[in-house]
């Protein structure tokens, strides 16, 4: 499986990092080794001094597709959860300044903790999906899918023009505003709608 991540998909987050507004979905990828095994703590990596959380809705692809028409795209994903797109912001800033790829800042081991998937049809409200993350018991990020610049269908259609999507692939759909640093001993708890999905520690 592969992990695809959309960047700059919420206006307020684009502004907080002083980035340009994208005219089409911007994506990058993480390898399967970026998954954090369930129940394990996130090991703070020794190559960064500024690891940021980005709390995101994550889609799961349910069938193979290439160059998927946006109107057909909803048939290619059927499950959703929340996850963290961990980012070594210090390394990313250096990469951006030099015009280099971002992989060292985004694709590192355990940089993609993901909750258990839930069928989209079982959500209370599919039109506007609420999600969020509590850091040490206090809300750090709260988002709503209707604030996305590019919809799930647009994202799936766009990515599949370049990369064949396969069953089991995951798509992080972008972070709302409020990204910030984590520190050793922090506890992160992620929510989908009002349901707690998973909790883990930084070690
Ligand atoms: Mg992100």
Domain ranges of the chain: 3-201
Q: Report the separation in Å between the CA atom of 185 and the middle of ligand 1, taken as the mean of its atom positions.
A: 22
Distance 99 CA to ligand 1 centre (A): 18
pLDDT of 17 above 90: no
**Rounded distance, CA 109 to CA 123, Å?**
30
Residue 193 confidence class, pLDDT cut points 50, 70, 90? very high
User: Which tens digit of pLDDT belongs to each residue from 63-96?
Assistant: 999 999 999 999 999 999 999 999 999 999 999 9
Tell how far the Cα of 121 is from the centroid of ligand 1, in angstroms.
25
Distance 7 CA to ligand 1 centre (A): 5
Going by C-alpha positions, the residue among 46, 42, 7, 41 that lies closest to residue 24 is 7
Answer whether residue 50 shows pLDDT above 90: yes
Residue 149 CA to ligand 1 centre (angstroms): 14
Average pLDDT, the chain: 96
**Å from CA of 3 to ligand 1 middle:** 12
> Distance, CA 175 to ligand 1 centroid (Å)?
5
- pLDDT at residue 18 tops 90: no
Average pLDDT over residues 93-111: 96
pLDDT at 70: 98
**Is CATH 3.90.850.10 the right assignment for the domain spanning 3-201?**
yes
**Torsion-angle region of residue 38: left (phi > 0), alpha (psi -120 to 50) or beta?**
beta
- The pLDDT assigned to 12 comes to 87
108 CA distance to ligand 1 middle (Å): 14
Average pLDDT in the 131-147 region? 97
Structure tokens of 110?
A: 């355990």
Query: Starting at the edge strand that comes first in sequence, how are the strands of the sheet with 187-192 ordered?
Result: 138-144, 130-135, 187-192, 195-201
Above pLDDT 90, what percent of the chain?
Answer: 93
pLDDT by residue (tens digit) across 114-134?
999 999 999 999 999 999 999
């Amino acid at each position: 499986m592969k992990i695809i991540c959309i960047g700059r998909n919420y206006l307020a987050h684009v502004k907080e990092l002083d980035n340009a507004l994208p005219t089409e979905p911007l994506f990058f990828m993480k390898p399967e080794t970026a998954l954090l095994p369930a129940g394990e703590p996130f090991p703070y990596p020794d190559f960064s001094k500024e690891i940021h959380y980005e709390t995101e809705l994550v889609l799961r692809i349910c069938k193979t597709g290439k160059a998927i028409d946006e109107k057909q795209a909803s048939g290619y994903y059927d499950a959703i959860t929340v996850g963290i797109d961990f980012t070594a912001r210090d390394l990313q800033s250096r990469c951006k300044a030099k015009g280099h790829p971002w992989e060292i800042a985004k694709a590192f081991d355990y940089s993609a903790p993901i909750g258990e998937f839930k069928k989209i049809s079982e959500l209370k409200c599919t039109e506007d999906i609420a999600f969020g993350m509590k850091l040490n018991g206090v809300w750090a990020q709260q988002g709503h899918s209707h604030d996305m610049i590019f919809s799930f269908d647009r994202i799936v259609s766009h990515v599949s023009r370049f990369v064949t999507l396969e069953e089991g692939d995951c798509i992080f759909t972008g972070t709302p505003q409020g990204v910030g640093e984590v520190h050793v001993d922090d506890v992160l708890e992620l929510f989908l709608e009002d349901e707690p999905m998973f909790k883990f520690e930084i070690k």
